[in-house]
Structure 1
Amino acid sequence: MNAALRLGLRDLRGGIGGLRLLAICLLLGVAALAGVGSLSAAILSGLAAAGQGIVGGDIEMRVSQRRAAPDELAAFARTGLVSETIRMRAMASRLDGAETALVELKGVDARYPLYGSFRLAPGALRARPGPGEVAVAPALADRLRLRIGDSVRIGDARLRLIGFVAEEPDRLGEGFTLGPVAIAGMDTLHQTGLVMPGSLYQARYRIKLPPAIADAHATAEALERRFPLGGWETRDRTNAAPSLRRFITRLGQFLSLVGLAALAVAGIGVGNGVSSWLDGKRRGIAVLKALGADSRTIFLAYLAQIGIVAAIGVAAGLVIGALVPPAVGALAGDALPVRPGFALHPLPMVVAAAYGLLVALLFSLAPLARARAVTAASLFRGGVEPMAAPGGRVRLLQGGLALAIAALAILGADDRMIAAGFIAGVAGLLALLAGIGVAVRRIAAALPRPRRPLARLAIANLHRPGAPTGQLVVALGLGLTLFATLAVIETSLGASLTGAIPARAPSFFVLDLPKDDAARFRELVAARAPRAEVRTVPMLRGAVVEIGGRRVEEMKDIPSDAWMLRGDRGLTYAASLPAGSRVVEGKWWPGDYRGPPLVSIDVQAARALGLKIGDSLTVSVLGVEIPAHIASFREIEWDTMGFNFAILFAPGVLEAAPHTVSATIAVAPSEEPAISRAVTADFPSASLIRVKDVIGQVATVLGQMGLAIRAAGSVAVLAGIAVLVGAVAASRRQRVYDAVLLKLLGATRAQVLAAQALEFALLALALAILALVFGAAGGWYVVTRVLELEWAPDWRVVLATLALGGVGTLVIGLLATLPALNARPARALRDL
């Protein structure tokens, strides 16, 4: 071992030379994995560190459509210091009614905030709003053209603007919002007249625990168990933003899988680079064999060199990956839930390094085995003697390494089924491309010989001995498939926003209409827009507390498709089947039904939970548990952007509960301003939401997701380019030999280049068709299964992307062959 190590170190004194491709490929793959892992870890650790500020306390007790009862409030007070906030959507307007805007109205008490600081921007009239006063986000002031000291109308109250909100410590924990915030005191909130029985608001009670209580999670669970019928949702500082944490974890997993795919692509480049490098070492290996070196010494010497260069590439990738979080924080920190800074996160670094070293060893074993089999006699027939194929032991070891990589990816994933499917897909694609490479060689050999010399030479280059057709097929196939997949994902994301959804969407959502005013509301809309389409539905909030005889709080693992069990849900009742729903199992109740409580639920959630028709379901509404039985399962068209409910009651159950009415209005764009002014003026308690604003928010989120996918995909593109260059470099000696012979026979540089261009063009044309199929399948899986959006690719963009990618890879391949054209015949023949 010492002799082999000394031999390897001496050989490295001349530089890493042909192992540059090994280092570059590992750097790209490891940097992608380490960067994604470090960024996810930085955001999650930032969420954990800011848990108290995000929650607004050590514990948060949350309930919809009511405030805490005296006994509940007394129990909270005995646990710790309590602060109450109420949050709801409302409409704010100038006093002249010329401008209106949807706001997130937040009422706070004198103790708010328990953690962090509430701060207004310089120039505010006072530090926090007093009676009859409000502080708003700067975006609302810009929209309504308000200045400090102006008056704004919210609900029935006329409030004075005292300043602009600069810091809202619990903003991140408030969740998704559709409008800028407006903050007022609790007494001022009640002056608006918006908090009434049945209105959609949420009361939150934040508790600051005394030092003697260390376990916030156990304390929160104890409070929830104490009031099982209250409909309470709890959070604590240890799980401050569970939905956001779940989203970050899943997005990080997806991007990590994309990075792993990039590393797999880079692994092929590793194999090509090592093959090209060891092919140039054949004469030196033969000399060492002639001087008495055995195969084991040769294997270990070159393995040591590969290990050293691989360690350098992995280390450089880890450094780049560690710098990703602060770089992303500096460039896009405002778009992230927490701004990541520089910090070393050991686990993603160790995992990325393990992936890199395993991939380097996996793809280096076969070239090393071939180098080990070089004989001393190859000094005299090295130009014609083929490299030996790896033996069974090497193949078995490679299989074990591949299984280790797959196991590491699957066991470390949050959703192991998706990870397993992704790994299987990448492995299947590599195997399929390798098989296609063999098929292309055989088909090229079986084709009739063209009359034109250049075409005959190009086809012969595909199947001649030593031709790198297999490597080129894998490189071009992976690169073009990746281009097609990204194009399908990008165009489907865009179509989800600008295509089908806006065409079917209403113009407005209207919330918190008093149920007694529904008829007057319809008359008002009809007077302003006679052709308007109006749909009204009763609206309540409730939480599923028991399903199929199981209490929800006792269920440890809730399937991802059973999201209706998480927190409060919108509820309604209906005599007839709503538009956009289809009964797929069971029966719909009669229009005049007045029997025991029945419900119809979303079929996907039912299948995820293993429910069947007739099973029980209990919903808590305003602290009252309502048991019912499942009458039917519905398939719901969620993308209509109308009112769709996962849980829908039969008539005769919820009518007596305090509730409001919600509505959708579909009008022509030119009629929207008049409808907005009329509804806001006549129904001050109602909230008017423009669908365009909702789509804009969704577009921002999907745009950020698309940017993340493009960033991770760009690493795979770079790796694919490196693979292509490596595949050409692996056949450098043969291409130099061919170019020299053709020149000696009278061929010009242009003719040699044209033959090689035709060779690449034939491959690119054949593989572009396959890439279109593979890319469409991969894009469909990501769009429909991972992102859960409609699959609507723009095939013109996909085909243009494939054409551009094919031309780009053709140019890159030709540039990589230029050194063969510049070889001087005399020197090349001496070297060969």
Structure 2
Amino acid sequence: MNWSTAWRIARRELNARFRGLRLLLVCLFLGVGALAAIYSLTGAIEGELETRGREILGGDVQAEVWQRAPTDEELAAFEELGDVSVGLRMQATARHGDLVSPIELKSVDEAYPLVGTLTLEDGRAVGPPAADEAWLSRGAADRLDLKPGNSFAIGGRDVRVGGIIASEPDRLGEGFSLGPAVLVRAGFPEAAGLAAPGAFYQSKTRIAFDTPRDLDETVEALEERFPTAGYDFDTAERASPGAERFVSRMGQFLVLVGLAALVIAGIGIGGGVSSYLEARRQSIATLKVLGATSGDVAKIYLLQILAAALVGSVLGLVAGVALTPLIGKALEGLLPVAAGVTLDTRALIVAPLFGLLVALIFAAPPLARARSFPAMALMRARATPIARDRRAWLPVLIGLALLLALVLATASQKMLSLIFLGGAAAMLGLLALLGWAIRKLAARVPRPSQPIARIALANLHRPGAQTGALVTALGFGLSAFVLLAAIQTSIAGNIQLSVPERAPDYFVLDVPRDRADDFRALVEETAPGSVVRTVPALRGRILAYGPEDDEVRVDELEELPEGAWPLRGERGLTYADAVPEGNTITEGQWWGPMWQGDPLVSVDAELGDVLGLRIGDTITIGVLGVERTARIANFRRIDWEALGFNYVLVFSPNTLEDAPHNLAATIETPDGATAALLQALVRQFPSSSAIEVGGILKQARDLLEQVGIAILAAASVAVLAGLAVLVGAIAAARASRLYDNVVLRVLGASRRQLLLLQLAEYALLATLLSGVALAIGSGLAWLVVTQLFEFDWLPHWPTVLAVLSGGVATVLVVAIGGSLPLLRAKPAQALRTL
């Protein structure tokens, strides 16, 4: 039989509404739809980052340095490459009447913006504001109750609102800020006393090339020319590294969730195909009696399954792509997402391929069993199970190899994907082994005297029992419930329990060193009983580390060691006479007060382990373009959960105290943050930036909650797939259960007894699997929470157990729902059709 003839027969038998294959449709719709939406969304964001890279960065190259402007030599080198715009970014505090708000102050020169257009809400396309004007973001205007034409104060200088910003071209490239943006003209921060020597600000120089240049080679040349200048360089190809890292990590996680949904759905596909072919026993037998070969049977039903798989995949693809604009709308302002529908190649090709491969892998075993069974056996009673066919392993292995190749070809984190695939295979194997063990155990335990319990136990191991499929379905479904509950409660625990209890009420930047006593006196006068802690605050870059005669230069490393994040860019530095609060010496000795010996440094113990540092090794840093070297005196364990001052490097005072710098302070008040204290600080210390921690915590809490909602929304697809699998497992057992129920009804069993029998069987399985699901779901949740998102493991176990109980209840409800049609079957009519 050729493929054309096989398709004619397959099409005639295949119901237009795909009766019998709807479970396959639903499973592929969920899995492919999830992957299509994920690929479309990440593709849209990555596309925007790539096409708008120059606009997001503000040029082709950006050079950032802390606490100073470019020197004449550096500026000349930048101008050799093209047009240059020099700006400044810092935290400040703005005041309008009694209203006070932390802001992100951004000064720009005449050339700004080099790329893109700055527009105001009144429709004007503008450049930098006038010397006595400011462009305000909508957030700053709302917080300070300002309108165009109003005046307000920043630092020690008044400024007038020239307009409200509608679109700031390089906003995404600026990264995270502790307040809404206010744009002023270059020179304003200096005139307001905010950019004095030692002040905490960041100089940003944007360069737009006058001729095409290789970005990486240009940056390398600048780094070689100014090796100790302390610059961080970004290019238009990586205009927003934070957004790219977030999109990459979250995208990979969501892809794994989509694959998990497909794997779970695959189990449902296997069950659904088994059920469908079981219902086609007589059709298959008839075809074989009429001369069809096993290969012909395989062709006919393979075409039917492929047709249903294609329809389910296409519907899922359409739904996933159509969903992308809605998700993009929800992320508007947080990430760059193009408006409208985005047709991403990965979504259009890879997502359906994943669906079809999973359908092939899980549909092959039941299809192979159906093709190889003798015609006469197919005509016998339904109590005779279809035997396994070892030839099914070939298409399964081919499908697995293709699936693995596709995952590795499309994954950004290949090792994580391999671990996921290995974990999924191990979980399937564990549940299969558990199903086998339950059947063997049920056959050997003593039979209960109670009839319902005895029959329920026998149903677990009788010929044709669907115990293996049910164990897999229940195991995945209940594990998904535990996974969701553990992740959600852990995130909630991090939000509610960890950070708020350890936080001061205010952070204050740029407190003048010579006015530290005045600062403490003002706080005590305005908020008696407050606890004030001040530390010297500088910025610097680690340039080299290791033994004095064999230091490792950071700029010569091809790749940073895993976990050595302090080597990336400039970091906060400080010095102290005593061990910082919340730190514990793990090795070495602290220098005494008034130390006048060789410059010393205390290093975070974790960083020391990562870099292989020892007591006596040296660390060289660059501060304001000057190299300083200190010898390691000790290692410290840092309590990073304390929301205060935590520094990877703490130096002896004689190392850094001669460098220009100010102080940073934390304030803990007895009654919490107060408007009176904030206003007093702004009036008496206009050049300092007071930041209310409550606002930061609210941003962090909102961000964590958004992450939690995204995780729950994504993982809900896997839960829906798990429920579909459960329905499929029950449907697959329906034919044999109809036979059993009819026989029991003829023997005198009531409908109530049959219902109790079904409940007893599923309750027994669900109870046995609850412990397994608790272990598997908790383990997966721990990996997601601690390893992927790097949160603390803080699940609320009563909630997790309650959700697991709800999952068991859901299983029983689904089981009852699936059993009701069987209870309504009339014995006489059913016996004529069996």
Partner of 2:84: 82
Partner of 1:221: 220
Partner of 2:577: 575
Report which stretch shifted further, 165-174 or 353-362.
Answer: 353-362
Report which stretch shifted further, 264-273 or 611-620.
Answer: 611-620
Partner of 2:492: 494
* 3-state secondary structure, aligned to 1:641: coil
Matched, 1:777 2:779: yes
Q: Distance in 1 between matches of 2:620 and 2:297?
A: 72
Matched, 1:137 2:133: no
Partner of 2:10: 8
Q: Distance in 2 between matches of 1:394 and 1:662?
A: 69
Matched, 1:28 2:30: yes
> Is the 8 Å Cα contact of residues 484 and 802 (structure 1) preserved in structure 2?
yes
Partner of 1:759: 761
Partner of 1:101: 101
Following superposition, the deviation at residue 773 of structure 1 comes to 2.1
Following superposition, the deviation at residue 604 of structure 1 comes to 3.4
Following superposition, the deviation at residue 208 of structure 1 comes to 1.6
Amino acid in structure 1 at the alignment position of 2:354: Y
Q: Distance in 2 between matches of 1:136 and 1:13?
A: 63
Partner of 2:560: 558
> Is the 8 Å Cα contact of residues 40 and 252 (structure 1) preserved in structure 2?
yes
Report which stretch shifted further, 714-723 or 796-805.
Answer: 796-805
Partner of 1:362: 361
Q: Distance in 1 between matches of 2:619 and 2:346?
A: 42
Partner of 1:617: 619
Following superposition, the deviation at residue 409 of structure 1 comes to 2.9
Seen in structure 2, the aligned counterparts of structure 1 residues 81 and 397 have a Cα distance that, compared at 3 Å, is same
Partner of 1:525: 523
Q: Distance in 1 between matches of 2:152 and 2:336?
A: 30
Partner of 2:532: 534
> Is the 8 Å Cα contact of residues 333 and 339 (structure 1) preserved in structure 2?
no
Report which stretch shifted further, 72-81 or 556-565.
Answer: 556-565
Following superposition, the deviation at residue 792 of structure 1 comes to 0.9
Following superposition, the deviation at residue 56 of structure 1 comes to 0.8
Partner of 2:184: 184
* 3-state secondary structure, aligned to 1:377: helix
Q: Distance in 2 between matches of 1:264 and 1:517?
A: 64
Matched length: 828
Following superposition, the deviation at residue 43 of structure 1 comes to 0.4
Seen in structure 2, the aligned counterparts of structure 1 residues 628 and 159 have a Cα distance that, compared at 3 Å, is same
Q: Distance in 2 between matches of 1:49 and 1:123?
A: 24
* 3-state secondary structure, aligned to 1:717: helix
Q: Distance in 2 between matches of 1:529 and 1:522?
A: 10
Matched, 1:409 2:407: yes
Deviations 1:373-406 (A, max 9, x none): 2102214534343211231x43365345335434
> Is the 8 Å Cα contact of residues 42 and 341 (structure 1) preserved in structure 2?
no
Partner of 2:684: 682
Structure 2, unaligned stretches of length 5 or more? none
Q: 1:743 aligns with which of 739, 742, 745?
A: 745
Seen in structure 2, the aligned counterparts of structure 1 residues 414 and 574 have a Cα distance that, compared at 3 Å, is farther
Following superposition, the deviation at residue 57 of structure 1 comes to 1.2
5 Å-filtered alignment, 1:203-242, equals 203-210=203-210, 212-242=211-241
Seen in structure 2, the aligned counterparts of structure 1 residues 560 and 153 have a Cα distance that, compared at 3 Å, is farther
> Is the 8 Å Cα contact of residues 118 and 126 (structure 2) preserved in structure 1?
no
Seen in structure 2, the aligned counterparts of structure 1 residues 512 and 445 have a Cα distance that, compared at 3 Å, is same
Seen in structure 2, the aligned counterparts of structure 1 residues 750 and 171 have a Cα distance that, compared at 3 Å, is same
Amino acid in structure 2 at the alignment position of 1:822: R
Partner of 1:334: 333
TM-score, normalised to structure 2, is 0.94
Seen in structure 2, the aligned counterparts of structure 1 residues 283 and 431 have a Cα distance that, compared at 3 Å, is same
Matched, 1:269 2:257: no
Seen in structure 2, the aligned counterparts of structure 1 residues 535 and 263 have a Cα distance that, compared at 3 Å, is same
Seen in structure 2, the aligned counterparts of structure 1 residues 693 and 456 have a Cα distance that, compared at 3 Å, is same
Q: 2:502 aligns with which of 500, 504, 528?
A: 504
Seen in structure 2, the aligned counterparts of structure 1 residues 44 and 650 have a Cα distance that, compared at 3 Å, is same
Deviations 1:158-177 (A, max 9, x none): 12222222221111111101
Identity %: 46
> Is the 8 Å Cα contact of residues 59 and 236 (structure 1) preserved in structure 2?
yes
Following superposition, the deviation at residue 126 of structure 1 comes to 9.0
Report which stretch shifted further, 281-290 or 545-554.
Answer: 545-554
Q: 1:707 aligns with which of 709, 712, 729?
A: 709
Following superposition, the deviation at residue 572 of structure 1 comes to 0.9
> Is the 8 Å Cα contact of residues 282 and 374 (structure 1) preserved in structure 2?
no
> Is the 8 Å Cα contact of residues 117 and 126 (structure 2) preserved in structure 1?
no
> Is the 8 Å Cα contact of residues 125 and 162 (structure 1) preserved in structure 2?
no
Following superposition, the deviation at residue 127 of structure 1 comes to 7.6
Report which stretch shifted further, 570-579 or 193-202.
Answer: 570-579
Partner of 1:353: 352
TM-score, normalised to structure 1, is 0.95
Q: Distance in 2 between matches of 1:300 and 1:683?
A: 82
Q: Distance in 1 between matches of 2:475 and 2:273?
A: 21
Q: Distance in 1 between matches of 2:639 and 2:499?
A: 11
Amino acid in structure 2 at the alignment position of 1:524: L
* 3-state secondary structure, aligned to 1:394: helix
Amino acid in structure 2 at the alignment position of 1:203: S
Partner of 1:166: 166
* 3-state secondary structure, aligned to 1:639: coil
Following superposition, the deviation at residue 610 of structure 1 comes to 4.6
Amino acid in structure 2 at the alignment position of 1:112: Y
Following superposition, the deviation at residue 546 of structure 1 comes to 2.9
* 3-state secondary structure, aligned to 1:699: helix
> Is the 8 Å Cα contact of residues 313 and 356 (structure 2) preserved in structure 1?
yes
Q: Distance in 1 between matches of 2:483 and 2:363?
A: 29
Structure 1, unaligned stretches of length 5 or more? none
Q: Distance in 2 between matches of 1:32 and 1:114?
A: 40
Following superposition, the deviation at residue 670 of structure 1 comes to 4.7
> Is the 8 Å Cα contact of residues 124 and 148 (structure 1) preserved in structure 2?
no
RMSD: 2.3
Following superposition, the deviation at residue 483 of structure 1 comes to 1.3
Following superposition, the deviation at residue 87 of structure 1 comes to 0.8
